[in-house]
């Protein structure tokens, strides 16, 4: 009997690549998208993929979709919490409404989907949750305070549930991607606009920090994460926290070997001056050979 995986946020990037990976391996795949019209032809060549419309911030809809998925397939074996987006900008100039919305999707949405499937896994005495966090949940970066901290919350939930659900043979893992060629940067919530005068104070440092990213056209492919998810699902006793991507692994290593002050000084340097040609070349090397196009939508006036 084919196994079944439930994946949120599958219209592009990591979610889409994961759907394709598991579908090609013969799994039944339930792919959720926030807007159904986006998915009309998304997986038309993959007959074992079922698409449901799902806004993870609509908790009643989350429960209804989970119920429909269980009813249709009988058993759900794995749930991947992938849906999310990024609020980018100085904390001072981001609105509280923006910060709240960031948590609604990236944190409360994960809670809602997880809670919807825990009873099913507990009754089956088996199941696995894979939570897509971020390298910013290993160390946070400037100008993504809400996004990064939301991913720290996902990390905390993962660690909690890994213990809480262990008596029911439920495994909980998290993956921490670095910079990948996904569309998360084309879905940015711009947190630079609440106090225009205040942003002018941050602008030179903001520009310096993104000088390296704006010079990268090719970064690690999202298939890299899909492969990590595939390995994690098929190795229940493997790592619970999986760092993926050259940049994510490097910074995690540096944080481990450097003092807290020295590591912070390294990060402060990234906003005090633009990236050098050598640093940009090194960043490109870190992305590896299996790359995709980095798509960034950002007001160019912010970087001029």
* Choice among 85, 103, 143, 147 that is catalytic: 147
Is-contact 269 258, C-beta < 8 A? no
Tell the residue number behind the tokens 């209804």, with chain if given.
64
Is-contact 102 147, C-beta < 8 A? yes
Q: Which pair of tokens denotes residue 288?
A: 């590896």
Q: Which distant-in-sequence residues (6+ apart) come within 8 Å of 24 by Cβ?
A: 46
147 is catalytic: yes
SS3 132: strand
SS3 301: helix
Over the range 55-68, which residues count as b (16 or more CB within 10 Å of their CB) and which as e? bbbbbebbeebbee
SS3 174: strand
Is-contact 230 26, C-beta < 8 A? no
Point out the residues that are catalytic. 147
């Amino acid at each position: 009997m084919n196994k079944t995986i439930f994946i949120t946020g599958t219209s592009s990037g990591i979610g889409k690549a994961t759907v394709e990976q598991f579908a090609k391996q013969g799994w039944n795949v339930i792919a959720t998208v926030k807007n159904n019209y986006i998915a009309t032809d998304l997986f038309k060549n993959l007959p074992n993929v079922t698409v449901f419309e799902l806004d993870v911030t609509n908790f009643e809809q989350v429960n209804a979709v989970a119920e429909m998925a269980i009813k249709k397939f009988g058993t759900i074996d794995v749930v991947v919490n992938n849906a999310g987006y990024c609020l980018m900008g100085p904390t001072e100039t981001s609105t509280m409404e923006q910060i709240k919305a960031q948590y609604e999707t990236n944190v409360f949405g994960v809670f809602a989907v997880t809670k919807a499937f825990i009873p099913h896994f507990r009754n089956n005495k088996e199941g696995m949750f894979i939570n897509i966090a971020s390298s910013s949940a290993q160390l946070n970066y400037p100008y993504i305070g809400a996004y990064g901290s939301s991913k720290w919350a996902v990390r905390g939930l993962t660690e909690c549930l890994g213990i809480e659900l262990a008596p029911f043979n439920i495994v909980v893992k998290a993956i921490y991607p670095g910079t990948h060629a996904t569309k998360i940067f084309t879905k940015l919530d711009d947190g630079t606009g609440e106090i225009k005068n205040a942003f002018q104070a941050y602008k030179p440092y903001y520009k310096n920090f993104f000088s390296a990213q704006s010079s990268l056209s090719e970064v690690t492919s999202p298939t890299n994460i899909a492969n990590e998810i595939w390995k994690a699902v098929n190795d229940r006793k493997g790592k619970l926290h999986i760092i993926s991507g050259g940049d994510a692994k490097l910074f995690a290593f540096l944080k481990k070997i450097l003092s807290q002050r020295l590591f912070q000084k390294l990060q402060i340097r990234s906003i005090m001056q633009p990236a050098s040609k050598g640093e940009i070349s090194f960043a490109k090397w870190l992305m590896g050979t299996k790359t995709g196009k980095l798509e960034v939508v950002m007001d160019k006036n912010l970087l001029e």
